[in-house]
Amino acid sequence: MKAFIVDRYGKKEKLHLREIAEPVIKENDVLVQVYSASVNLLDSKIKNGEFKLILPYKTPFVLGHDVAGVITKIGAKVSHFKVGDEVYARPADHRIGTFAGLIAMNEADVALKPKRLTMEEAASIPLVALTAWQALVEKADLKKGQKVFIQAGSGGVGTIAIQLAKYLGATVATTTSTANVEWVKALGADIVIDYKKEDFETILHDYDVVLNSQDAKTLEKSLRVLKPGGKLISISGPPDPAFTEEMRLGWPLKMVMGLLSFGTRKKAKRQHVDYSFLFMRAEGYQLSKITALIDSGIINPVIDKIFPFEKTEEALTYVESGRAKGKVVIKVI
């Protein structure tokens, strides 16, 4: 099969399109023919080597964290899927590789594809929707009537998180730049702040939850828009001790990671708010709940551009620009 390979870590390193052996399935695996994949900043960060200590992929490896496709083979112990099922997934860490013709995944990471979506639309969903779910449902336990500030409402995570938060009954504030204000409002956000012209800290007060996806300065300001007892959940760091436990990191790394978030945790404590870092994980069961929300029209995909498979490198560069409006998708078939 054809696949886009990382041969060497590095910002300047290119992906290489090569013919490689088909994946071999384990007894709980499904083999999926990739119809479509989508690009995440995590792909670039992994290729650049930024995650090498946490997720030490041994080169050469196939990149790609989102897939929609059709099951072509199942392992002996697979019980929830059959050959021919249309599925989508964010494969688990250490088992990534959706920029390819085929991928083998544990069935626990897979869900049936929403019926009303095309393969391209479906591939745009798993990583960002699971991130939104794990932040707003699992960590924040966001309730009807609460106020949530979701940064970067025009991004991959933001577009889905806004729709999920509205479904949960929250009042949603978000940030984006001038050109995106109107269509982000149309996604359901109640308050849209143009970050080029206004400072969210002067507008938002007494929030229950902030989903932070930006830099350290934004993180610090976010602490101040929360009410006492509020929750600051960051997907852009710094990592907290719970994350080091989840990733089963050795003690030197645990120490370093703990120190990275020490200041933030201290400030959060002073403000009487809770700080936590989220590194999303694969989870087929949660994805099946997202399938139901999509099929009932509650969550809609937002796609900026679709690139042909051969242009995967260009798709990655486009995402790295930080200007994507929703998701960037790769059409494999």
Ligand X SMILES: NC(=O)c1ccc[n+]([C@@H]2O[C@H](COP(=O)([O-])OP(=O)(O)OC[C@H]3O[C@@H](n4cnc5c(N)ncnc54)[C@H](OP(=O)(O)O)[C@@H]3O)[C@@H](O)[C@H]2O)c1
Q: Which residues pair with 159 in a beta bridge?
A: none
Applying the rule CB under 6 A, the residues between 238 and 257 that interact with ligand X are none
Residue 266 · residue 127 · CB < 8 Å? no
Shortest Å, Cβ 333 to ligand X:
24
Asked if the peptide bond before residue 238 counts as cis, ω within 30 degrees of 0, the response is yes
Instruction: Determine the size of the site formed for ligand X (CB under 6 A).
Output: 29
Among 158, 230, 239, 301, binds ligand X (CB under 6 A): 158
> Which residue has 């089963």 as its token pair?
248
Does 171 bind ligand X (CB under 6 A)? Our answer is: no
Is 331:40 a contact under the CB 8 Å cutoff?
A: no
Q: How does DSSP classify residue 310?
A: G
Distance in Å, CB of 326 to ligand X, minimum: 7
Region near ligand X per CB under 6 A, out of 83-91, 102-110, 172-180, 239-247: 172-180
Question: Smaller CB distance to ligand X: residue 275 or 279?
Answer: 279
- Report, in Å, the least distance between residue 46 CB and ligand X: 10
Alpha-carbon span 279 to 36, nearest angstrom: 24
How far is Cα 147 from Cα 143, in angstroms, rounded to an integer?
Answer: 9
Among 154, 163, 264, 276, binds ligand X (CB under 6 A): 154
In angstroms, rounded to a whole number, what is the distance separating the alpha carbons of residues 120 and 330? 7
Tell me the residue nearest to ligand X as measured from the CB: 155
Q: Which of 214, 271, 288, 300 binds ligand X (CB under 6 A)?
A: 214
Q: Which of 33, 72, 236, 300 binds ligand X (CB under 6 A)?
A: 236
Is residue 155 involved in binding ligand X (CB under 6 A)?
yes
- State which of residues 164, 319, 329, 332 lies at the interface with ligand X (CB under 6 A): 319
| DSSP track, 232-285 | EEESSS---HHHHHHTT--HHHHHHHHHHTHHHHHHHHHTT-EEEE------HH
Q: Which is nearer to ligand X, 73 or 289 (CB)?
A: 289
| Dihedral class, residue 13 (left if φ above 0, else alpha if ψ from -120 to 50, else beta) | beta
What is the closest distance, in whole angstroms, from the C-beta atom of residue 54 to ligand X in the complex? 11
Q: Helix and strand tally (H, E) in the chain?
A: 12, 16
Distance CA 192, CA 184 (A): 7
Binding segment for ligand X among 20-28, 50-58, 148-156, 268-276 (CB under 6 A)?
Answer: 148-156
Among 325, 329, 330, 332, binds ligand X (CB under 6 A): 325
Q: Which of 33, 177, 271, 300 binds ligand X (CB under 6 A)?
A: 177
Q: How far apart are alpha carbons 279 and 295 in whole angstroms?
A: 26
275 binds ligand X (CB under 6 A): no
CA 165 to chain centre: 16
Nearer to ligand X, 101 or 166 (CB): 166
Q: Are 90 and 128 in contact (CB under 8 A)?
A: no
Pair 299, 117: CB distance under 8 Å:
no
Binding site for ligand X (CB under 6 A): 40-42, 128, 131, 151-152, 154-158, 175-177, 180, 195, 213-214, 235-236, 278-280, 319, 322-325
